[in-house]
Structure 1
Amino acid sequence: MKILIIQPKLEKQVDQLEAELVNNPAVDIVIFPEGYLNENVEKACDLAKKFNTVLIGGYRRLKENPKDRFLIINRMGEVVFDRVKYGNTTLHTIEGLKTGHILCDELIVHNIKSEDFYDADLIIHPIGVGMFSEAQFEEWITEATKIATQSNTMIIGTSHADGSFGDTGISIPIAYCIDKDGLVVFISANDVRTRLLNFETREVYF
């Protein structure tokens, strides 16, 4: 199982996602940040079908409140899971993997219970903008590590390459993968390179 973790810049279209699929045609799953797709879910479905790849991340319905949602698009280009932020975190099976999902600050503020994810093979954590301080970066990594170990489950998170929370002007792009035993597979701060993870061997390629 090959999983591509991307950190695109915020954009009106999904050109960066398409470019990554062109450059990595053999991947099984692509994970992208919260709110990246904007109103481009239909285009993402077309890309998933064209490249025979599962797409997992977040999108934003600009005309609805709350805006942010988590979704999974299968290889056939079908949306097979879609939930609103702060909604139910039940597991979903895709490509034989039982997946849990945490959307951005749900990691900290949504009272996530590790037992909710205990049977999962993988927890996916799309993040919106980068961290606004080193302290926040450490807090989120610490919390993700706790959830991984208590759930006995790998967790992967990724944010956009740009953007700051609340117009603070500060953004530390973050991407990470913590294994089920709490060991770091990778942690990225201010390094927005795309990463390719071999799920079985835990090897990471740039």
Structure 2
Amino acid sequence: MKFLIIQPKLEKSIVQLESELHNNPSVDVVIFPEGYLNENVEQACLLAKNYNKIFIGGHRRLNDSPKDRAIIINRSGDIILDRIKYSQTAFKSVEGLKIGQILCDELVKQGVKNEDTRGIDLIVHPIGVGMFSEEQFDEWINEAKKLAIIYKTMIIGTSHADGSFRGSDVSIPIAYCFDKNGDSIFVSKNDVRTRILDIQTKTVSFPQPHSQYWENV
């Protein structure tokens, strides 16, 4: 199974997602950051159905508190997971894989919050904006590695290519993947290229052409 891991710029639409789907027809799953879909969930469901892809990431409901939510959309365009941030971690079977999500700072605030953690195949970690310091980058990478080892699962995280936390003048885009032994498959700092990960072979490639939306990040 091939996973497309994207680091889009913050946008009100989901144009970058559709561009990546068009450019990468061979992938099965697309992983995107926390809040990326904004309120474009209905459109995302149509894209998942039309392109026959699975989406794993985050969206927002502005009237909720907190507003951020984890979401999984299957190939039929159906929402199979929609969980509010800081609630109990939920797991879903997605084409034979037991997949759960932790949203952004849930990584350091609560980790995996569920009593049934047996047989997890993958944890997806949609992150909002970039890290606000080198120390935070190192802390989050180390915490993700610990989760991989504790739960014997692969873990994949990705943030937006831009944006800062509470007005910080530092924003370090982050993406990573650790295998179930805690070994690094890739760790990305300030490199917002789209990646394709084959989880069977643990190989990473960089698709071409590179989307115009990532230029001059």
TM band (smaller chain): over 0.9
Please list every run of at least 4 consecutive aligned residues from structure 1 whose deviation after the TM superposition is greater than 3 angstroms.
111-118
Q: Establish whether residue 53 from structure 1 lines up as the match of residue 53 from structure 2.
A: yes
Length, aligned pairs only: 206
Q: 1:80-129 CA distances to partner (integer Å, 9 max, x unpaired)?
A: 11100001113211121101211000000125369753411101000000
Contact persistence 2:127–2:160 (CA under 8 A): yes
Letter in 1 for 2:173: P
When normalised by structure 2's length, the TM-score is 0.92
When normalised by structure 1's length, the TM-score is 0.97
- Separation in structure 2 between the aligned mates of residue 170 and residue 116 of structure 1, nearest angstrom: 38
Contact persistence 1:2–1:196 (CA under 8 A): yes
Question: Alignment identity in percent?
Answer: 64
What residue number does 1:167 align with? Answer: 167
What is the CA RMSD across the aligned residues, in angstroms?
A: 1.2
Q: Please show how residues 125-136 of structure 1 align to structure 2 within 5 Å.
A: 125-136=125-136
- Separation in structure 2 between the aligned mates of residue 112 and residue 177 of structure 1, nearest angstrom: 17
Q: Establish whether residue 63 from structure 1 lines up as the match of residue 63 from structure 2.
A: yes
Q: Please show how residues 142-153 of structure 1 align to structure 2 within 5 Å.
A: 142-153=142-153
Contact persistence 2:88–2:113 (CA under 8 A): no
Where structure 1 has 5 or more consecutive residues not aligned to the other structure, the ranges are none
What residue number does 2:4 align with? Answer: 4
What residue number does 1:17 align with? Answer: 17
What residue number does 2:76 align with? Answer: 76
Query: What is the DSSP-based 3-state SS (H/G/I as helix, E as strand, rest coil) of the residue aligned with 1:167?
Result: coil
How far is 1:26 from its partner?
A: 1.7
Q: 1:25-69 CA distances to partner (integer Å, 9 max, x unpaired)?
A: 121100000000001000100100010000010001123221000
Where structure 2 has 5 or more consecutive residues not aligned to the other structure, the ranges are 207-217
